[in-house]
């Protein structure tokens, strides 16, 4: 990810009255150190060049260079090739490593917001809870009873009565998908998947050697229910992987009648529906409140309508209140987008028999979920309403910025409306998504091409996923680069001779 750039005049304003006794460069270093310690200059943000800051402050460049030297010597700044001087804190390097090949790039391949503000406090609370667990081995292949109870209560509150024994805590939703596909599928089994879909679910199905049956979902019209039911009937798929609320990448949500028909059809064909809710609770809070499956609360339905406002009632999970729902649907949840990807906690809600089989199978893959992260996740789930309200604000700001910038720089791209989720599935005026991703990469911007989201690699050349989980500042840097890249890609410009391999993790 590209470092944030601190503007020289902003920094000069933040410094205020910084001069004191003693040499100027020391006083300046001391003022800058206070801003870094206060968080007013974010860690890893790029400081202005010596010349630019000297100009903004009316100083000589030597004074600024001396101040930067002092900051570096004290550990409050580091110099990075290609990034200039960036703010730091003394001590061992505490940053996340970059994925190889992404160093210095603006990264739109990870549609995942930074940690919710409640995370540090939840982790501190978890550390206080920890002594009660230290006499045990710490290997936990099912999930702490407390967290399983909190997750069970979460589903019960949303209209799907659940016991703690019907919950398995995992290492994130991807781990849950991997476990479920390997336990539920035999090589050669058919598996229904939405097209487009979340790419690593497709990877998991392929690694379980399933035969994939795609069913279309569009950002504009959602699911074609008749086509999906027909595909179920004909394929008698063993499993269907779905994102019924704020589908990644389109943002679409499945209307109530489609849910009911799908569950009835799945019961008939003996198909287990995996409902991935990783993005389900991330609504923007910009559409009228509604509830897609609980009849008393039914409101207007549309493919994009959100299930609730971020501060309001939680949306019912797929199958809640529907006959056979609890049996036919297995739910996957995650702390990843809701709280923070760095927690690496997810879960599966399923009938007890399946949970037991998953627990038995799990030890071939991993030996359990870390205790501290589970304790923190339990605390965060208990503060869900507050976290969702904050998430709604962040996502709204990102979405509005994205639309504003696209209208200026990419006026002929169509960005369908979304009511929640993490991204807009944009429509290009002509095919060229793969060429666009290559041209963007050559300009320092990582964005996965549309075909990465399709079960059939050749589709979606007219689509590109634009995440609104990035900060407005990052989007302001990214969208003009995207427009430049599109200028080259649409003109059929020659792709770079030796393109670097584009990293392939898409979240």
Ligand X SMILES: Cc1ncc(COP(=O)(O)O)c(C=O)c1O
Binding residues for ligand X, rule: CB under 6 A, are: 172-174, 198, 243, 248, 276, 278-279, 334, 336, 341, 346, 507
Distance CA 460, CA 452 (A): 8
Of 174 and 308, the one with the shorter C-beta distance to ligand X is 174
**Pick 341 or 450: Cβ nearer ligand X:** 341
> In whole angstroms, how close is the CB of 262 to ligand X at the nearest point?
18
Q: What is the DSSP string of 298-316?
A: -----TT--SS-TTSPPPP
Give the separation between CA 153 and CA 245, rounded to whole angstroms: 20
**Closest distance to ligand X from the beta carbon of 392 (Å):** 18
Q: How far is the CB of 200 from ligand X (least distance, A)?
A: 7
CB 288 within 8 A of CB 325: no
Provide the minimum distance between the beta carbon of 507 and ligand X in the complex, in angstroms, as a whole number: 3
Residue recorded with tokens 């978890």: 126
- In whole angstroms, how close is the CB of 245 to ligand X at the nearest point? 10
The smaller minimum CB distance to ligand X, of residues 70 and 248, is found at 248
Based on CB atoms, which residue is closest to ligand X, 285 or 346?
Answer: 346
DSSP string, 133-158: GTTS----SS--HHHHHHHHHHHHHT
> Residue 152 or 201: which CB sits closer to ligand X?
201
Hey, what are 181's tokens?
């596909």
**57 or 381: whose CB is closer to ligand X?**
381
**Cα separation, 21 vs 439, whole angstroms:** 52
CB–CB of 259/318 below 8 Å? yes
Judged by beta carbon, residue 198 or residue 468, the one nearer ligand X is: 198
Shortest gap between Cβ of 457 and ligand X (angstroms)? Answer: 19
Residue whose token pair is 């006959």: 323
Q: How far is CA 165 from CA 151, 328, 367, in A?
A: 11, 17, 19
For the CB of residue 85, give the shortest distance to ligand X in the complex, in Å.
33
Of residues 159 and 336, the one with the C-beta less far from ligand X: 336
- Which three-class secondary structure state does DSSP give residue 80? strand
Task: Please list, in sequence order, all residues whose beta carbon lies within 8 angstroms of the beta carbon of residue 243, skipping any fewer than 6 positions away.
Answer: 194, 197, 198, 275, 276, 277, 278, 279, 280
Hey, what are 233's tokens?
């009937």
Instruction: Tell me how far, at minimum, the Cβ of 278 lies from ligand X, in Å.
Output: 4
By CB atoms closer than 10 A (0-12, 13-18, 19+), residue 79 is exposed
Shortest spacing between CB 236 and ligand X, in angstroms: 25
Are 253 and 242 in contact by the 8 Å Cβ rule? The answer is: no
Cβ 215 to ligand X, closest distance in Å?
16
Cis peptide before 249 (omega within 30 of 0): yes
Quick one: how many helices (H) and strands (E) in the chain?
A: 16, 14
Reduce the DSSP state of residue 439 to 3 states and report it: helix
The alpha helices in 319-423, defined as continuous H runs, are 325-328, 352-362, 371-382, 384-409
Find the angle CA(17)-CA(19)-CA(21) to the nearest 5 degrees. 140
In the complex with ligand X, which residue's Cβ is closer, 278 or 470? 278
Closer residue to ligand X (CB): 47 or 151 = 151
Q: In this chain, which residue has its C-beta nearest to ligand X? A: 172
Least spacing, CB of residue 180 vs ligand X, in Å: 12
* Contact predicate 47/87, CB 8 Å: yes
Q: Which is nearer to ligand X, 269 or 278 (CB)?
A: 278
């Amino acid at each position: 990810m590209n470092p944030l750039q601190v503007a020289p005049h902003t920094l000069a304003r933040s410094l205020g009255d910084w001069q004191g006794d003693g040499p100027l460069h020391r006083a300046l270093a001391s003022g800058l150190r206070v801003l870094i310690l206060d968080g007013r200059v974010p860690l890893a943000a790029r400081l202005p060049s010596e010349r630019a800051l000297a100009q903004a402050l009316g100083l000589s460049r030597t004074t600024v260079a001396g101040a930067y030297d002092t900051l570096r010597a004290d550990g409050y700044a580091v110099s990075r090739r290609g990034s200039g001087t960036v703010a730091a804190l003394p001590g061992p390097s505490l940053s996340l490593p970059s994925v190889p090949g992404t160093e210095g790039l603006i990264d739109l391949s990870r549609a995942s917001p930074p940690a919710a503000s409640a995370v540090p406090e939840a982790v501190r609370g978890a550390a206080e809870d920890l002594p009660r667990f230290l006499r045990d081995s710490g290997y936990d292949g099912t999930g702490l009873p407390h967290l399983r109870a909190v997750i069970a209560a979460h589903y019960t509150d949303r209209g799907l009565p659940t016991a703690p024994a019907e919950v398995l805590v995992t290492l994130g939703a991807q781990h849950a998908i991997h476990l479920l596909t390997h336990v539920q599928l035999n090589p050669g089994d058919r598996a229904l998947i939405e097209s487009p879909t979340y790419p690593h679910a497709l990877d998991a199905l392929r690694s379980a050697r399933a035969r994939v049956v795609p069913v279309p979902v569009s950002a504009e019209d959602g699911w074609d229910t008749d086509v999906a039911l027909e595909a179920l009937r004909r394929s008698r798929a063993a499993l269907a992987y779905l994102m019924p609320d704020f589908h990644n990448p389109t943002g679409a949500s499945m209307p109530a009648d489609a849910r009911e028909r799908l569950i009835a059809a799945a019961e008939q064909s003996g198909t287990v529906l995996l409902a991935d809710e990783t993005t389900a609770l991330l609504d923007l809070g910009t559409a009228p409140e509604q509830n897609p499956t609980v009849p008393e609360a039914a409101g207007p339905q549309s493919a994009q309508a959100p299930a609730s406002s971020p501060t309001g009632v939680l949306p019912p999970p797929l199958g809640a209140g529907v006959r056979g729902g609890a049996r036919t649907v297995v739910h996957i949840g995650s702390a990843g987008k809701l709280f923070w990807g760095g927690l690496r906690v997810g879960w599966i809600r399923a009938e007890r028999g399946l949970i037991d089989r998953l627990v038995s199978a799990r030890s071939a893959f991993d030996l359990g979920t870390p205790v501290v992260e589970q304790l923190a996740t339990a605390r965060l789930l208990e503060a869900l309403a507050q976290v969702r309200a904050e998430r709604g604000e962040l996502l709204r700001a990102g979405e509005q910025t994205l639309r504003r910038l696209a209208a200026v720089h990419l006026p002929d791209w169509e960005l369908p409306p979304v009511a929640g989720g993490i991204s807009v599935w944009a429509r290009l005026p002509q095919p060229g998504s793969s060429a666009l991703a290559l041209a963007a990469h050559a300009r320092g911007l990582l964005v996965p091409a549309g075909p990465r989201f399709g079960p059939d690699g050749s589709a979606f050349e007219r689509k590109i996923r634009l995440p609104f989980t990035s900060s407005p500042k990052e989007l302001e840097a990214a969208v003009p680069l995207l427009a430049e890249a599109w200028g080259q890609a649409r003109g059929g410009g020659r792709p770079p001779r030796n393109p670097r391999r584009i990293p392939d993790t898409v979240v």
